[in-house]
Amino acid sequence: MSVSDSVHPLNAFLQLQLASDSAAILNLPYLIRFLSPQHLQPSPHIQKWITRINSLIHSKDPGARWAGLSIACQTAIFSQQLMLENARGWVSAALPLFSVRVPTIARLINLIPFAVDIPEFQRQIASPNVPKFGLALILAAEDPPSRDFKLLAIDTLSTMVPLYPAHFKALHGRLSALCLRQINGLARRTMDGSLTQAISRLYSILPVTGGKVGTPGLWRKSVDEVLAIGWASLHAVKSTIHHDGLIGFLTPKLCTEKHPANIRPRQSQPQQEDLAVSVPLNVDRLRCAVLTLCDLLTSETAGAVQLPLGALVSFSQALLSCTRDDDKDDGSVEPSARAMEETIFPEICTFGSDLLSKLAACVNRHLTPHAERFTNILLFHLEQSPSPSQHVLLLRALLSLLTNVHTLNLPSVPNRITKVLLSTLSVLLQTRSEIKTSPMTTTYSLASRVLLSLYLSLPSMDPTRLSRNLTFQAQILRELQVASLDISASALGAMSRSLGLVIHGLLEPLDEPGAPTSTLRELDMLLHPRVPPLVRSLPHVESLSLSRAEESVEEREIRERLHIDVISSLNGTEVISTENRLSAPIPALASLPPLPNPSTLADVDVSKTPAPAPFPSSLYPQAAEPLDLQPTQYTSAQLQSRLGAAPEIINPAAEDDDGDDEEMPSIDMASDSD
């Protein structure tokens, strides 16, 4: 679209917004907002635009220089042709500004990597300027004027190194020294979280400077160096107790050459230092080491690397084994020192949880030989009622471990995990004072009772009580529905009672990922609830506990230990106890002997078959009048078993109706015949 000279946007910008240096500084946000690629199409005003940008960059006013760099960066983003023609001059003018510590990094980081796919740009601009740019960034990170400037320099290096690994190969030693000094805590002060993450991310990508051949060796060296710092920090923190979890592993030794990259931890006698300084410093070192190891495990490399699995497993177990153990206190350490170090043990345990999660996701099934020990350690911590934040990290580590390793053949582990999860989920249940008395929902286990109670009570709860995120309640309901459906599908004969759950499962939105597969699976469960066939017969669902009266002693103890109560019946009466139920008058059913299969009666010798006991006729249902059942407190499963067993009983007196008139032969009891 042709635009006349009088109304061309560039001409308007030059005459109004960029008329002077002060006007350029004042109108910079407006100009950056409204400048578009259509304004930079070939026109007579392009050369005037470039000239004005260069004049701003070379201005003596720092604000004008910043405005010129910002406009140049935006111009390079919108017009690749203008960037190729003018980027060399812009970069050359911006590099000297690093000596005065002005924030030109933010503009150069958008300018240099923008055309990495153009060979001519790489040859003329990137190759001669990237090493200079990297060295200036290292100097800025080593002696920054402020924390924000240091963070900006480190983030810029993290972006530049993967783009130009060959250009940073000569700077690998200085970059490694910079990172190790921060990780090892030689600054004698703790770092904040954002700076620690930036240092860890930069150190994890440094191995790419070795190329396809040298990357595996540099990656393994980085892991060994960080492990050495982590072990030294852990030994210093656990100086007051025995190092049982640390025995059997030799910490990797760093080189003794006088090189800035070879930073050995200075922790030979941590007890002589001030506890108020040494303990937080060692914890900060340990946190940096664990975070760096996690980033190294998730970093991308050019080829296969050799993973020190044994060393990482030992370090993770040592972190997770940090507990308060008063039995090992021999009295040689001051109580104040031991108390201060014990306060940070939960934090060290969270470090181990993070490392284990990343390690399990990285090595997958190769962690199976160590899965049993890790599972027991995590369950031990979960059973000690940790803090909510630590509880979440431990559960994530346990989930990552069980998801990535082979199935464990540990009978006690599922029960322990269920108890831990029930104690977590039971806090969502309403208290007795918040619920009106209603009939008790029956199910076949304590876990399913809790899940179904949550599934029924959560819809009536205010979503803001759970979280500020209003969708959190729907997510919990969906997960509860899936878990309840899986439990019902695993029980023989229970699918007929789970029709509501299956139907609700089919209401899943079709726009969710994996919805068609889930719908087909639930439809198949609805149509074929017993596929694949069972190899051996299992007890029917009616034989399982369906009420509190049939609840086993173990289930009742677990429920009481988890502080989970049940609601009384509607009329306020308690369910009859097991002893009273067994003492009810049912003599006929109790005295009946086991009946043979009717199909095999013909093969049995009648003379050797004992005569059946007399059966009361009152137990048979009468056709003329309906069966009058008195209201009792028996369960529905027992009543169904009584009514269902009656039609199968064979009446010996009615087997032969034609022989009613025949006289029974007398038997001589004095006869000595067999």
Which of helix, strand or coil describes residue 471?
coil
Q: What pLDDT was estimated at residue 134?
A: 87
Residue 34 in any domain: the answer is no
Q: How confident is the model at residue 541 (pLDDT cuts 50, 70, 90)?
A: low
Q: How confident is the model at residue 547 (pLDDT cuts 50, 70, 90)?
A: low
Residue-wise pLDDT tens digits, 505-527: 555 554 454 445 566 666 666 66
| pLDDT at residue 31 is higher than 50 | yes
Query: Do 209 and 317 sit in the same domain of this protein?
Result: yes
What residues contact 324, with CB distance under 8 A and at least 6 apart? 342, 345
Query: Do 491 and 463 sit in the same domain of this protein?
Result: yes
Q: What pLDDT was estimated at residue 554?
A: 75
Q: Answer whether 41's CB lies under 8 Å from 8's CB.
A: no
**Lowest-confidence range among 247-256, 465-474, 618-627?**
247-256
Query: Do 358 and 478 sit in the same domain of this protein?
Result: no
Residue-wise pLDDT tens digits, 265-279: 343 333 446 677 778
User: How far is CA 172 from its chain centroid?
Assistant: 34
Residue 457 in any domain: the answer is yes
Residue-wise pLDDT tens digits, 136-171: 888 888 877 778 888 888 988 998 899 889 889 999
Query: Do 457 and 406 sit in the same domain of this protein?
Result: no
Q: How confident is the model at residue 297 (pLDDT cuts 50, 70, 90)?
A: very high
Residue 440 in any domain: the answer is yes
Of 479 and 109, more confident? 479
Which one of 69-78, 244-253, 371-380 scores highest in mean pLDDT?
371-380
Last residue of a domain, one of 536, 561, 586: 561
Query: Do 392 and 284 sit in the same domain of this protein?
Result: yes
Query: Do 459 and 315 sit in the same domain of this protein?
Result: no
Mean pLDDT of the chain: 71
User: How far is CA 579 from its chain centroid?
Assistant: 47
If one counts the domains in the chain, the total is: 2
Residue 233 in any domain: the answer is yes
Q: What pLDDT was estimated at residue 595?
A: 47
- Domain carrying residue 452: 427-561
> What is the residue-wise DSSP string for 557-601?
HHHHHTT---PPPTTSPPPPPHHHHHTSS-HHHHHPPPPPPGGGG
Last residue of a domain, one of 358, 379, 410: 410
CA-wise closest residue to 108 among 121, 124, 92: 92
Of 210 and 600, more confident? 210
Cα dist. 376→130, 184, 345, 402 in Å?
51, 32, 18, 12
Q: What pLDDT was estimated at residue 517?
A: 57
Please tell me the pTM assigned to this model: 0.63
Query: Do 295 and 367 sit in the same domain of this protein?
Result: yes
Neighbours of 425 (CB within 10 A): 19
Query: Do 437 and 400 sit in the same domain of this protein?
Result: no
Last residue of a domain, one of 545, 561, 577: 561
**In the predicted model, what is the mean pLDDT of residues 607-622?**
44
| pLDDT at residue 592 is higher than 80 | no
Q: Answer whether 520's CB lies under 8 Å from 420's CB.
A: no
Residue 643 in any domain: the answer is no
Query: Do 372 and 436 sit in the same domain of this protein?
Result: no
| pLDDT at residue 357 is higher than 90 | yes
Token code pair at residue 343: 């306060």
Residue 641 in any domain: the answer is no
Query: Do 286 and 384 sit in the same domain of this protein?
Result: yes
**In the predicted model, what is the mean pLDDT of residues 226-233?**
92
Q: How confident is the model at residue 219 (pLDDT cuts 50, 70, 90)?
A: very high
Query: Do 406 and 432 sit in the same domain of this protein?
Result: no
